[in-house]
Amino acid sequence: MILSKSDQLKIDKEQILALAQKIYGDVEISKSNFFDWQYLDNPDGKAVVIVAKDEENNNSIIGVESILPMNLMVNQKIIKASLSCNSYVDPDYRKKGIFSKLISFVKNESKTNNISCIYSVANDNSFHLFMKKNSHEISNLPLLFRPMRLSNYFLFPLSTFLRIFDIMWKIKKNNNQNIVEFNDYFDESFEVLCKKVNERIPIIKHRTKEYLNWRYKDHPTREYKTFVLKENSNLEGYIITRKTIVNGKSIGVIVDFLVDSNTNSEKINDLIQTALYNFWNSDVSVIVAVFGPSTLEYQLLSKNGFKIAPKFVKPQSAHFILINSDSKDFDKLKNYENWFFSFGDYDIF
């Protein structure tokens, strides 16, 4: 077996996609346009992809570990960071320690590329392997949950019984004229808001207009909706949402949500209500979100009916981990209370 950084992604692309297809089937990770978007078009830089090859089988790719450049702002200073994702090994080659070797190689590669830290969100299966490689768990991410049309989540006859309770969660239309659905490309005002948030929360993904447009406007396989609160042309808050299907259930997702802490909380509440009203009209059964309990955004969502999710909504844990860090800010990075981290900051939604 040979491990190496793929310096010819466009050439290795076909094999990488074929391996993803073999493991996961016909999903977005096995799509050509998703590959180009995620690995090649990221405005923070091209992905670093580590591949394991079987030299006895025509150097066929049997394992992949990818890190995507995701620059962070730490106390207003930009640091070079990466998100580890898309880790998989050919089923025919499992239990041979390949995944473990891929992780070790990535750590060494981060030093070569001057990456200050690599972070990830691992499921229960991979989490223990990462821990054996001296990764640090920042948090078991708290999943926020709010019922909407809860009857749609269950099958007959329970769904019929629960329908009478759906009215409890019904959202009324909000008429705040300063809140609109945003259909343009993201501009500098979103960067300004990100910097304001970084003044109250030490660590946040650097949300440049280029990054936001790449992440939400140019995504080849997903559709997002953005709602903004603006007064006198000043952006005071935004919510990015997505409707998706999980285990056959229609789920609403608050992917990203940032607010100016100087804005009146009632106005922010109107922004949240506008997003929830859209979810109600979209017939979603429940809404989920991820935000740290120390953030203002978490507190505002809690006031609008969001609670820590019960186990039936959260089938497995999501471990937010720090895989590697050579940064002098290590103590800050390993403390979850210092992070602003949402679904939009990793690739699940």
Cα distance from N-terminal residue to C-terminal residue, the chain: 33
| DSSP per position, 269-336 | HHHHHHHHHHHHHTT-SEEEEE--TTSHHHHHHHTTT-EEPPTTT--S--EEEEEEE--TTHHHHT-G
Of 52-61, 112-121, 169-178, 311-320, least confident by mean pLDDT is 311-320
pLDDT of residue 14: 95
Q: Do domains 2-140 and 143-315 have the same CATH topology?
A: yes
Joined together, the tokens standing for residue 338 give 């210092």
Sign of CA dihedral 278, 281, 283, 286: positive
Average pLDDT over residues 138-167: 84
Average pLDDT over residues 167-178: 88
Pairing of strands 143-147, 307-308: antiparallel
Quick: pLDDT tens for 21-66.
Answer: 999 999 999 999 999 999 999 999 999 999 999 988 888 999 999 9
Tokens 């090649």 sit at which residue?
Answer: 40
Confidence of residue 314 (pLDDT cuts 50, 70, 90): low
Q: Are 287 and 145 in contact (CB under 8 A)?
A: yes
- Greater model confidence, 40 or 316: 40
Joined together, the tokens standing for residue 174 give 């909000």
Confidence of residue 84 (pLDDT cuts 50, 70, 90): very high
The rounded distance, in Å, linking the Cα atoms of 70 and 122 is 17
Quick: pLDDT tens for 320-333.
Answer: 999 987 768 888 99
What is the fold, at CATH topology level, of the domain defined by 143-315? Aminopeptidase (3.40.630)
The rounded distance, in Å, linking the Cα atoms of 44 and 25 is 29
Where do the domains of the chain lie? Answer: 2-140, 143-315
Looking at the predicted structure, is the pLDDT value of residue 190 above 70? yes
pTM of the model: 0.94
| DSSP per position, 57-100 | TTTEEEEEEEEEE--EEETTEEE-EEEEEEEEE-GGG-SSSHHH
What percent of the chain clears pLDDT 70, i.e. is strictly above it?
98
Q: Domain 2-140: which CATH class? A: alpha beta
Mean of per-residue pLDDT scores for the chain = 91
